[in-house]
Amino acid sequence: MKKKTFITFTILILITGCLDTQIIDEILLIQTVGLDKYDEEKLKYSVTFPVFLEQGEESTLNMQQLSVISETTEEARSLLNTRAQQPLRYGQIRVILFGKDVAVEGVEKYVKSFYRNPRIGSKIYLCITEGNTDEILNLKGENQQRVGMYFSDLIEQNINFENIPKTNMHLFLFDLYSDGKDAILPLIKKEGDQPQLIGTALFDFDRYVESLDLNKTYILKLLRDGSEGGTSQFVIEHEGKKDYVVIENVFSEVKYNEKTRKPYPKYDIELKIQGEITDHTGNIDLSDPKQVAEIETSVGNQIKTEGDKLIKRFQELKIDPIGFGEKYRSKTRNWKPNEWKENIYPETKANVKVDLKILQSGAIE
């Protein structure tokens, strides 16, 4: 019995000795990464990470930012380690930012490199930036002390409550390698000292090709997800004047009905939206059902018009962020991706039908 116990204890010691253990106080955990174009072959890698500075018996949190020039992500991390006071590790990355000049040439190889790293989660956020990422990561004041959380919180709350469609690294790669759908990412720009989401970046495979502002992103989210959240402002005609109403999406669902297949497919897109009016200008009486019905009709027509325009623009660019290809492929035996993209998709017809219901008009009544 003693012999068995000794053998078991010895095995446990050997197994424990094989584990790659790292003491948290002896490493630095990277929270954000930014990639910018440096020259034809090299990129500028910028990272931020927290450092605890001891001041007497207390410690204060300080965020540091480092940048290096390299061709690959792993060499960049090695170079960063030559400038850091402790080893840098990828164990806490929340957001990876790509400068637009990098995204125009393609991001697949960089995203795949991060995805293959076992220390990086697949549900971290990716985004594209207008301007250099190292400048956008350089926040001021209190935001600099929480830069690692700042960008992930910014993207997450806009996905959950505003106009940005659902996205993360796993979903981006899923759409990237899909034959019937193209990927999208949030687009960030620095206004003054404050970064803000300004819309959505559209991709042809892994290359950035165009962007949508927040109002068009709102339409894309409705057509793509049919989900809760999102706010947009609309112009309406009331008593011979232009007024504005702001509608918050409470709930929406979208259904794609294939009406014909030959010679080219035609889809009816049924979009049902339940919303609230959160603000308006002019003398609109929201207690009058007739005026509310007029708003429903006017806004519904605008969403339809913008949805139709958006789909046609996607066809001109030969990109499919909505996923018509996935819907067509699900009922096709001999699926040919090139034939779909080059010949069928550009001729596909889509008719957006909007059923908008204003549930209530909030406290402004």
For residue 261, count other CB atoms closer than 10 A to its CB.
12
Report which of 88, 95, 94, 91 is spatially closest to residue 28, judged by C-alpha positions: 88
pLDDT at 54: 62
Report which of 263, 269, 253 is spatially closest to residue 327, judged by C-alpha positions: 269
Q: Is 62 left (phi over 0), alpha (psi -120 to 50) or beta?
A: beta
| Per-residue pLDDT at 292 exceeds 80 | yes
pLDDT at 223: 95
pLDDT at 71: 85
pLDDT at 53: 65
pLDDT at 2: 46
Count CA atoms within 13 Å of residue 68 on its CB side.
17
Q: Which residue has the tokens 């009816």?
A: 268
pLDDT at 58: 53
Model confidence pLDDT, tens digit, residues 301-311: 999 999 999 99
Model confidence pLDDT, tens digit, residues 251-285: 999 999 999 998 999 999 999 999 999 999 988 88
Query: Pick the residue with more confidence: 362 or 202?
Result: 202
CA distance 91 to 81: 15
Query: Pick the residue with more confidence: 361 or 199?
Result: 199
Paired with 360 in beta bridges are 276
Token pair of 257 as six digits: 């009905």
Query: Pick the residue with more confidence: 67 or 18?
Result: 67
pLDDT at 146: 77
Model confidence pLDDT, tens digit, residues 227-254: 778 899 999 988 888 999 999 988 999 9
Residues in the chain: 365
Q: Is 362 left (phi over 0), alpha (psi -120 to 50) or beta?
A: left
Was domain 226-365 assigned CATH 3.30.300.210? yes
Percent of the chain with pLDDT over 70: 88
Residue 55 to residues 27, 58, 62, 63, 160: CA-CA distances in angstroms? Answer: 19, 5, 12, 16, 39
pLDDT at 86: 84
DSSP letter string over 281-336?
A: -SS--TT-HHHHHHHHHHHHHHHHHHHHHHHHHHHHHT--SS-HHHHHHTT-SS--
pLDDT at 188: 97
pLDDT at 196: 94
In contact, 48 and 148? CB cutoff 8 Å: yes
Q: Please list, residue by residue across 92-121, b when 16 or more beta carbons sit within 10 angstroms of its beta carbon and e when fewer do.
A: bbbbbbbbbbbbeeebeebbeebeeeeebb
In contact, 323 and 166? CB cutoff 8 Å: no
Model confidence pLDDT, tens digit, residues 39-81: 888 999 999 988 876 655 555 667 888 999 998 887 888 898 8
CA distance 143 to 321: 33
